[in-house]
Amino acid sequence: MKNLETMEQFEQLKNDGNHIFVFSAGWCPDCRFIDPFMPEVETKFSEYTFVHIDRDDFIDLCQQLDVYGIPSFLAYENGKELGRFVSKDRKTQEEIESFINGLK
Protein backbone atom coordinates (compact mmCIF):
# COMPACT_ATOMS: atom_id res chain seq x y z
CA MET A 1 0.00 0.00 0.00
CA LYS A 2 1.43 3.32 -0.95
CA ASN A 3 1.30 6.35 1.32
CA LEU A 4 -0.40 9.60 0.36
CA GLU A 5 2.16 12.38 0.19
CA THR A 6 0.25 15.52 -0.89
CA MET A 7 -3.27 16.90 -1.25
CA GLU A 8 -2.61 17.25 -4.97
CA GLN A 9 -1.85 13.54 -5.13
CA PHE A 10 -5.14 12.77 -3.34
CA GLU A 11 -7.13 14.81 -5.87
CA GLN A 12 -5.33 13.17 -8.79
CA LEU A 13 -5.86 9.62 -7.44
CA LYS A 14 -9.46 10.28 -6.41
CA ASN A 15 -10.34 11.48 -9.90
CA ASP A 16 -8.50 8.84 -11.92
CA GLY A 17 -9.19 5.13 -11.47
CA ASN A 18 -10.42 2.91 -8.65
CA HIS A 19 -8.94 3.73 -5.26
CA ILE A 20 -9.61 2.82 -1.67
CA PHE A 21 -8.20 5.32 0.77
CA VAL A 22 -7.32 3.84 4.15
CA PHE A 23 -7.23 6.41 6.95
CA SER A 24 -5.19 5.45 10.01
CA ALA A 25 -2.46 6.61 12.38
CA GLY A 26 0.62 5.06 13.90
CA TRP A 27 -0.66 5.44 17.45
CA CYS A 28 -4.04 3.76 16.75
CA PRO A 29 -4.24 0.17 18.10
CA ASP A 30 -7.30 -0.68 15.96
CA CYS A 31 -5.34 0.49 12.89
CA ARG A 32 -2.43 -1.79 13.80
CA PHE A 33 -4.95 -4.65 14.19
CA ILE A 34 -5.75 -4.59 10.46
CA ASP A 35 -2.10 -4.41 9.33
CA PRO A 36 -1.44 -8.19 9.23
CA PHE A 37 -4.33 -8.99 6.88
CA MET A 38 -4.45 -5.89 4.67
CA PRO A 39 -1.96 -7.32 2.11
CA GLU A 40 -4.35 -10.25 1.60
CA VAL A 41 -7.30 -7.86 1.18
CA GLU A 42 -5.30 -5.85 -1.36
CA THR A 43 -4.51 -9.02 -3.32
CA LYS A 44 -8.17 -10.15 -3.32
CA PHE A 45 -9.36 -6.77 -4.56
CA SER A 46 -6.60 -5.96 -7.05
CA GLU A 47 -9.01 -3.89 -9.18
CA TYR A 48 -8.52 -1.18 -6.53
CA THR A 49 -5.37 0.68 -5.63
CA PHE A 50 -5.14 1.02 -1.87
CA VAL A 51 -3.68 4.26 -0.53
CA HIS A 52 -2.77 4.81 3.13
CA ILE A 53 -3.56 8.26 4.54
CA ASP A 54 -2.00 9.17 7.87
CA ARG A 55 -4.75 10.99 9.73
CA ASP A 56 -2.27 13.15 11.64
CA ASP A 57 -0.57 14.34 8.43
CA PHE A 58 -3.88 15.09 6.65
CA ILE A 59 -6.21 16.24 9.43
CA ASP A 60 -7.75 18.92 7.16
CA LEU A 61 -8.59 16.28 4.56
CA CYS A 62 -10.18 14.12 7.26
CA GLN A 63 -12.36 17.02 8.34
CA GLN A 64 -13.27 17.84 4.73
CA LEU A 65 -14.34 14.22 4.14
CA ASP A 66 -16.04 13.74 7.55
CA VAL A 67 -13.60 11.03 8.60
CA TYR A 68 -13.60 11.30 12.38
CA GLY A 69 -12.88 7.70 13.33
CA ILE A 70 -10.05 5.42 12.30
CA PRO A 71 -9.36 3.04 10.74
CA SER A 72 -11.71 4.13 7.97
CA PHE A 73 -12.07 3.37 4.27
CA LEU A 74 -13.30 5.57 1.41
CA ALA A 75 -13.67 4.17 -2.09
CA TYR A 76 -13.63 6.27 -5.26
CA GLU A 77 -13.96 5.52 -8.94
CA ASN A 78 -12.99 8.31 -11.34
CA GLY A 79 -13.99 11.08 -8.91
CA LYS A 80 -17.21 9.48 -7.68
CA GLU A 81 -17.44 8.23 -4.11
CA LEU A 82 -18.52 4.59 -4.27
CA GLY A 83 -18.82 4.05 -0.54
CA ARG A 84 -17.40 4.64 2.90
CA PHE A 85 -16.73 2.46 5.91
CA VAL A 86 -16.10 5.17 8.48
CA SER A 87 -16.20 4.62 12.22
CA LYS A 88 -13.93 4.49 15.22
CA ASP A 89 -14.59 0.78 15.72
CA ARG A 90 -12.09 -2.02 15.20
CA LYS A 91 -12.70 -3.69 11.85
CA THR A 92 -12.25 -7.36 11.00
CA GLN A 93 -11.01 -8.69 7.68
CA GLU A 94 -14.50 -10.02 6.99
CA GLU A 95 -16.09 -6.60 7.61
CA ILE A 96 -13.60 -4.87 5.31
CA GLU A 97 -14.07 -7.45 2.56
CA SER A 98 -17.85 -7.23 2.91
CA PHE A 99 -17.64 -3.44 2.53
CA ILE A 100 -15.53 -3.77 -0.64
CA ASN A 101 -17.79 -6.48 -2.08
CA GLY A 102 -20.73 -4.12 -1.55
CA LEU A 103 -19.11 -1.51 -3.81
CA LYS A 104 -19.60 -3.61 -6.94
What architecture is the 2-101 domain classified under in CATH?
A: 3-Layer(aba) Sandwich (3.40)
Element (H, E) at 63: helix 59-64
96 and 34 Cβ atoms separated by less than 8 Å: yes
Q: What is the pLDDT of residue 98?
A: 97
Residue 104: its pLDDT value, please?
A: 73
E strands, the chain, where? 2-3, 18-24, 49-54, 72-77, 80-85
pLDDT confidence of residue 54: 97
Mean pLDDT of 46-63: 97
Q: For the chain, give the mean pLDDT.
A: 96
Bridge partners (DSSP) of residue 53 are 23
Structural domain boundaries in the chain: 2-101
The percent of residues above 70 in pLDDT, for the chain, comes to 100
Write down the pTM of the prediction: 0.95
Quick: pLDDT tens for 35-49. Answer: 999 999 999 999 999
- Structure confidence by residue, pLDDT tens digits, 64-75: 999 999 999 999
**Residues 90, 38: contact at Cβ < 8 Å?**
no
DSSP, collapsed to helix, strand or coil, labels residue 56 as coil
